[in-house]
Chains A and B, each alone.
Chain A
Amino acid sequence: MRHTISVTLLSIVLLTGLAFDAEAQGRNDDVLIKGATVMTAARGTLANTDILVRNGKITRIAQNIAAPAGVRTIDAGGKFVTPGIIDAHSHSMLDAINEGSFSVSSMTRVRDMLNPTDITIYRALAGGVTSSLLLHGSANSIGGQSITVKFKWGSPVEDYVVADAPPGIKFAMGENVRRTTQAPQPGQQLRYPRTRQGTIEVMRDAFLRARDYKQAWEDFRAKRTKVPPRRDLELEPIVEILEGKRLVHAHGYRSDEHLNLLQLADEFGFKIGTLQHALEAYKIAPEIAKRGTGVSIFADSWGYKLEAYDSIPYNGYILWKNGVNVSINSDSDERMRRLNLDAAKMMKYGGVPEEDSLKMITLNPAKQLGIDKRTGSIEVGKDGDLVIWNGHPFSAFSRVEATLIEGVTYFDRARDAQLRQDMAKEREALEKLEVNRPPGTGGTPPRVPTERVRGDRDHDEIGDGGIH
């Protein structure tokens, strides 16, 4: 009896102590969002509803949740909340895009060139994007190993990486891979392939070599051979594709080149993860649906190159109607900021229902990236990846008020306004320093700002040392 009482007393003391501790610290990944219209992207839209996030995970979705001690509250009355937007095709925060020397550069890894200081991350957050698939460009038939990140602005670069996301790899077909849209420099050797039929042969060759490599290792492990094969970093990721352990994200435009790749995958017994861009996918929706391959498209871009000339804004609708998992991506630092309006366009072009349109920038890309168990919708148990909007996210007149990842606020418009003031003061102070005085008073002249123009779409023109 006494033992029980003392244990109980001890527990009470400990628990109270812990509660005080939490209150004193106020974990930054605990938050209660109150009174919003919650668009869950899974179970419909809930009016006047609260979302409780503890330790970065959504623990409750209900009306009138009482704030636990130490948990900060965001009053979202009159506002809308959606899951964080997931951009399934981006080259944000990458210092280089294409290893253009070989058409197959599967050994290269986006992971090795992440730049967490890229301001496009912050701007993406301001547009409601919380996660993204970062890819190589499209200069190569097999580009390199991709990575899934969350835009945890200000964190060490390792924290950006979604560790449990399935690995991916970039493939590409079409005009960019053939390198025929740029005239070769004098003395520059033409790189194979120069045609679509050559492109699929390059891929087929890579899979044949990978299959041989896999067999050689199996023979060695089964002790049929004595000498281990030489490790081949180019073929190992392709073996992973064959084994279903690495998702292929394949850039392409023309419906026939998608079929080339889908049939190649059939031949080698694996499934393509996503067709990227795929602006003619609407012509072969049944073939794509049959194989369970996802498609990640622009909402309505067209006409900028010949292989995009048959692109239509009804692409998303036709694919959706055929049961294909469709996501809408940006492939652009600029467009990434307005993916909400791209999703809205699906309601206009064909008539995809509201929640299915929202899924195209949330749950659908989460599924394509293999992270849908932890994000992509507002459901208990998932990460607190949330965006607060001051109006319906599909209205052009709405904007993002705050963007949270795993409960932590990474963008807040009010805080942004304060930061601007702070930066203006800092700038003023810096400009008073001797070395920045205007010419004529003995200082160094100010730099004329360079227009930093980055190619948007398909990103094979990004300056990465000359070989495009």
Chain B
Amino acid sequence: MKPSILCKIAARTAAVITLAAAAALAQNDGTEQNAIGRAGNFAITNARIVTVSGATIENGTVVIQNGKITAVGAGASIPGGVERIDGRGLSVFPGMIDAGTNMGLAEITLAVAGSVDLAETGPMNANTMGIKGIHPHSAHINVTRVNGITTVHSYPTGGTISGRSAIINLNGATPDEMAVVPVFGLMINFPRLGGGGFGGGGGGGFGGGGGQQADFNELVRRRDAAVEDLKKIFKNAENYLRAREAYSKDRTLGYVENDPKLEAMAPYLRGQQPVIFTAERERDIRAIAKFVADMKLKGIIVGGQEAWKAADDLKRNNIGVIYTNIYGLPVRADDPYDTLFEAPAKMKAAGVKFAIATGDVGPEVRDLPYHAGLAGAFGLSQEDALRSVTLTPAEILGVSDRMGSIEVGKMANIVVSDGHILEPRTNIKYVFINGRMLPLTSRHTRLFDAFKDRK
């Protein structure tokens, strides 16, 4: 062998080793957008433990092993070989869950269209899955998790049937590593009273320009027609599925071609997985409740400004609400100034199951705790405010067996702080996702370090 070839091989190998070493270094020094954190076994001792599911433990221990919570309590025994974290003066909370985001689907929404994957074109996109568009290395992810939000529900938008949502942990180098439930709900912008026809899920109230005031009954007629169109889709999907099933049993019936859009609807129209409707007004919410009942679906509402007014319909049909309107302005000039802050307390009083969520595209999901805090300033108890961003979203999202509270057996999604996590002055000290201790670094901490001492 010629020495030059050997040299080349050696050089290439060296280069590969160097690259690998650099990559390994990069993964753990926080410069990656989404560092995966340090696996291990941990015990947080002498801390105040806010379990959410039960009474707060004033001075206790939480043990994390193999990604799970294995012990919680004042007298919990600490296994050998675990890394101890002194929790004196600190509090332990479940990682927060934002049930209303588009996390990972858009990096910069204004004028950087190449980074925006929010809405596919066309009115009916049941087959598209948000998890296939979520960018695991979005800068929003680390920025969010360092403030104690460990899990989010992220969904596409647009059209009438926007696609299917995902429940993801804010940790993982690939979407699969992040996914808690990779394909969760079917997102539907239900035809709104005053909105466009089928396919026109967006937009605000009626009219727009001119002085032409549409007749109210006409608006109801248009909305009902659009709902009928939506029902047809469900019925088509049901017929399609039946035909496919029949064909699979009896080939003489004739081959039914695959229709991925209708195929995707199967678990939803059969009530196995939830259909998630965006709606704000009472009339629209009641129409959705009726649709859910007529079509025998499992339903969830996202938005829910006036959900408290439709409490009876929501409760009768077991529809939970993901409330995204804390940082919103009352629609009418004569609405009480705090009507949107107060809505969670009103839903609580009416017995509606609700989570408080940001409804944000990504960069401001980290403000989730302060949305809940504001609800706590206007009638919701502090306990319920905390629950609305931990256990209740877990329940609505069907993952409360795995997260949302500090209980033995649950996934170790845990936040350690020097105060109440719903308070803006509180500092987060440790974040664990799936039992991995995450570096508290992000795009923002890197830029801070780069410029804080510039003279």
A residues touching B (Cβ–Cβ < 8 Å)? 119-120, 122-123, 126, 175, 180-181, 282-283, 285-286, 300-306, 309-310, 312-314, 318, 321, 333-335, 338, 341, 344-345, 347-348, 350, 394-399, 416, 420, 423, 439, 445-454
Contacts and interface: CB of A to CB of B under 8 A. Distances in A.
A175 B112 CA distance: 12
A196 to B, nearest CB: 15
B378 interface: yes
Contact of B377 (A283, A333, A398): A398
A348 B336 contact: no
Nearest to B147: A348
Contacts of B452: 282, 314, 318, 321
Interface stretch (B200-208, B250-258, B397-405): B200-208
Interface stretch (B162-170, B225-233, B422-430): B422-430
B42 to A, nearest CB: 25
A283 B280 CA distance: 42
B108 A303 contact: yes
A6 B218 CA distance: 84
B444 interface: yes
A345 B424 contact: yes
A111 to B, nearest CB: 24
B247 interface: no
A314 B377 contact: no
B364 A286 contact: no
B249 interface: no
A318 B454 CA distance: 9
Contacts of B130: none
A309 B204 CA distance: 29
Interface stretch (B171-179, B260-268, B293-301, B326-334): B326-334
Contacts of A416: 336-337
Interface in B336-353: 336-338
Contact of A448 (B206, B328, B336, B448): B206
Interface core residue of A305, A309, A451, A454 (most chain B CB under 10 Å)? A451
Given A318-B452, A394-B425, A446-B216, A122 B140 contact: no
A318 B449 CA distance: 11
Contact of B216 (A302, A347, A348, A448): A448
A350 B448 CA distance: 9
B193 A448 contact: yes
A329 B426 CA distance: 22
Contact of B205 (A312, A439, A449): A449
Nearest to A318: B452
A53 B422 CA distance: 35
B370 interface: yes
Given A303-B140, A396-B376, A449-B332, A181 B110 contact: yes
Contacts of B332: 449
Interface in B138-152: 139-140, 143
Contacts of A396: 369-370, 372-374, 376-377, 422-424
B377 A397 contact: yes
B118 to A, nearest CB: 13
A350 B107 CA distance: 25
B217 interface: yes
- Interface centre among A333, A338, A396, A397, by most chain B C-beta atoms within 10 angstroms, is A396
Contacts of B422: 396-397
Contacts of A282: 447-448, 451-452
B454 A285 contact: yes
B111 interface: yes
A350 B205 CA distance: 43
Interface in B359-378: 362-364, 367, 369-370, 372-374, 376-378
A306 B214 CA distance: 40
Nearest to B194: A448
A49 to B, nearest CB: 23
26 contacts: A120-B329, A123-B329, A126-B338, A282-B447, A301-B363, A303-B139, A305-B110, A309-B108, A309-B139, A312-B447, A314-B447, A321-B452, A338-B327, A341-B374, A344-B424, A347-B424, A348-B426, A394-B425, A396-B370, A399-B377, A423-B334, A439-B217, A445-B215, A448-B219, A450-B205, A451-B204
A341 B326 CA distance: 14
A302 B331 CA distance: 26
B2 to A, nearest CB: 50
B447 to A, nearest CB: 5
Contact of A301 (B329, B364, B378): B364
A227 to B, nearest CB: 49
Contacts of A285: 451, 454
A85 B426 CA distance: 22
A345 B376 CA distance: 18
B109 interface: yes
Interface of B: 107-112, 139-140, 143, 193-194, 204-207, 213-217, 219, 280, 327-334, 336-338, 362-364, 367, 369-370, 372-374, 376-378, 382, 385, 422-427, 443-444, 447-448, 451-452, 454-455
B334 A451 contact: no
A449 B382 CA distance: 33
Nearest to B206: A448
Nearest to B339: A420
Contacts of A341: 370, 373-374, 424
A301 B366 CA distance: 11
A318 B451 contact: yes
Contacts of B336: 416, 420
Contacts of A301: 363-364
The 7 closest A-B CB pairs, nearest first, are: A396-B373, A450-B205, A303-B363, A451-B204, A445-B216, A181-B111, A344-B424
Given A399-B378, A445-B216, 7 more contacts: A285-B451, A334-B329, A341-B374, A395-B425, A416-B336, A446-B216, A450-B207
B454 A302 contact: no
Contacts of A394: 424-425
Contacts of B140: 303
A452 B108 CA distance: 24
Contacts of B206: 448, 450
Contacts of A300: 367
Contacts of B337: 122-123, 126, 416
Contacts of B370: 338, 341, 396
B139 A286 contact: no
Contacts of B214: 448
Contact of A304 (B108, B376, B454): B108
A338 B451 contact: no
Contact of A305 (B111, B328, B364, B451): B111
Contacts of B447: 282, 310, 312, 314
A312 B448 contact: yes
Contact of A445 (B204, B217, B427): B217
Contacts of B328: 334
Contacts of A448: 193-194, 205-206, 214, 216, 219
A304 B110 contact: yes
A341 B364 CA distance: 14
Contact of A348 (B219, B327, B373, B427): B427
Given A345-B424, A397-B382, A420-B336, A312 B107 contact: no
Nearest to B422: A396
Contacts of B377: 396-399
Most buried by A among B204, B338, B374, B425: B425
Q: Count chain A CB atoms within 10 A of each CB in B112, B216, B374, B377 and give the residue with the most.
A: B377
Given A312-B444, A449-B331, A306 B423 contact: no
B108 A305 contact: yes
Contacts of A450: 204-207, 331
Contacts of A304: 108-110, 363
Contacts of A451: 204-205, 280, 331
A251 B277 CA distance: 39
Contact of A347 (B111, B280, B376, B425): B425
Contacts of B107: 303
Nearest to A454: B329
